[in-house]
Amino acid sequence: VAILVIYFTYLAIAGSLLPGKVVPGIILPDGTRLHYRCNGLASLLSLIMLLGVGARLNFISLEISDRGLELLSVTFIFSFLVTLVLYAAACNSRNIGSSLKPHVTGSLLHDWWFGIQLNPQFMAIDLKFFFVRAGMMGWLLINLSILAKSVQGSTLSGSMILYQLFCALYILDYFVYEEYMTSTWDIIAERLGFMLVFGDLVWIPFTFSIQAWWWLLSNKVKLTTAAAIANCFVFLIGYLVFRGANKQKHVFKKNPKELIWGRSPKVVGGKLLASGYWGIARHCNYLGDLLLALSFSLPCGTSSLVPYFYPSYLLILLIWREKRDEARCAEKYKEVWAEYCRLVPWRILPYVY
């Protein structure tokens, strides 16, 4: 409990005080828009520095992995309780703005799971943006604690180094381009309920680290040079597709006339981008995300399915999300979406799905 409270307190203070680019969100139906201070990278680097100094002076221990199940339990309980509070507060809200207007379906379970407010806040902190930041940083902190234990126990392997390197690059990249998060499905469309809170605070840090926590710490995995090189290629291709697709979408929303791959963008109905990665598949960014997830598991070898839980789960999640996104876009864009689907028939993987 103390670790969680101190962690959230630090993130709240750092997120409010550290310098960072203030990015406007999308324009909401009522004409308003939220603004986000994207100082996640500064917050993360400052936190790592503080933890490093504290560990050097023996003020703190970095071996979170030794008490991981306790921390997991506390975080799960917190996620459950905070979503009950969010639900109760939203039900009593009389705000009619797009961010805080309650969307109640009448089903308690549905409303608690999916949430009923788009962007609830606490002490001027946007909770949705705050929780996803906390989850991504938590993932890196858990990984670093596992790395510290591996070094101290003299069990550091090439597989562990590959896994740690790929994850660290992915997480650091997320914070370098944190402003792109403001135009993602989670921020612009999902309401904040148990699904997002649990996903951000519990699922991301504690299951995305399964490869190191539950496998590489206790199993010696030796990769051949060819396997390590192939693993690097999977990561690189996944990163180029994932980051490239998200960047193209973000830039297009800011400036629809910006060149893509050196050419003027093809736009369907004046609304939907059909150039670059978005002319290859309607959710090409999901393909990149899946390749990245696979690259995090490949260092564990193929002797067990346990390390492949993350990419397997992500495949199911993204297909489910893709179907929800397709239904939402079909309702929102109508014939424009139908034309886009005709021009770009593939959903995630060209010529396969």
Reported as a single tens digit per residue, the pLDDT across 102-138 is 888 888 898 999 898 888 999 889 999 999 999 999 9
**C-alpha closest to that of 62 among 151, 136, 171, 132:** 151
Structure tokens at 289: 């995300």
Cα–Cα distance measured from residue 242 to residue 248, given in angstroms and rounded to the nearest whole number: 10
Inform me whether the pLDDT recorded for 7 exceeds 90.
yes
pLDDT at position 63, please? 62
Phi, then psi, of 351 in degrees rounded to 5: 70, 5
pLDDT in tens, 146-170: 998 888 877 888 999 999 999 999 9
Phi, then psi, of 56 in degrees rounded to 5: -65, -35
Alpha-carbon distances, residue 303 vs 120, 297, 308 (angstroms): 45, 12, 11
Cα–Cα distance measured from residue 95 to residue 87, given in angstroms and rounded to the nearest whole number: 14
β partners of residue 267: 273
Inform me whether the pLDDT recorded for 345 exceeds 80.
yes
pLDDT in tens, 177-214: 998 888 787 888 888 999 999 999 999 999 999 998 88
pLDDT band at 270 (very low <50, low <70, confident <90, very high): confident
pLDDT at position 82, please? 95
Alpha-carbon distances, residue 339 vs 100, 256, 323, 345 (angstroms): 34, 18, 17, 10
pLDDT band at 62 (very low <50, low <70, confident <90, very high): low
Phi, then psi, of 23 in degrees rounded to 5: -110, 130
Structure tokens at 347: 């959903």
> Which pTM does this prediction carry?
0.88
Contact 64, 147 (CB under 8 A): no
Cα–Cα distance measured from residue 353 to residue 162, given in angstroms and rounded to the nearest whole number: 30
Structure tokens at 31: 């004409």
pLDDT in tens, 28-57: 877 788 889 999 999 999 999 998 888 788
Contact 272, 253 (CB under 8 A): no
Q: Name the amino acid, one letter, at 28.
A: L
Structure tokens at 262: 């050196």
Alpha-carbon distances, residue 42 vs 48, 51, 54, 124, 178 (angstroms): 10, 14, 18, 20, 11
SS3 per-residue string spanning the chain: CHHHHHHHHHHHHHHHHCCCEEEECCCCCCCCCCEEEECHHHHHHHHHHHHHHHHHCCCCCCCHHHHHHHHHHHHHHHHHHHHHHHHHHHHCCCCCCCCCCCCCCCCHHHHHHHCCCCCCEECCEEHHHHHHHHHHHHHHHHHHHHHHHHHHCCCCCHHHHHHHHHHHHHHHHHHHCHHHHHHCHHHHCCCCCHHHHHHHHHHHHHHCCHHHHHHHCCCCCCCCHHHHHHHHHHHHHHHHHHHHHHHHHHHHHHCCCCCECCECCCEECCCEECCHHHHCCCCHHHHHHHHHHHHHHHHHCCCCCHHHHHHHHHHHHHHHHHHHHHHHHHHHHCHHHHHHHHHCCCCCCCCCC
Cα–Cα distance measured from residue 278 to residue 283, given in angstroms and rounded to the nearest whole number: 7
Percentage of the residues of the chain whose pLDDT score is greater than 70: 99
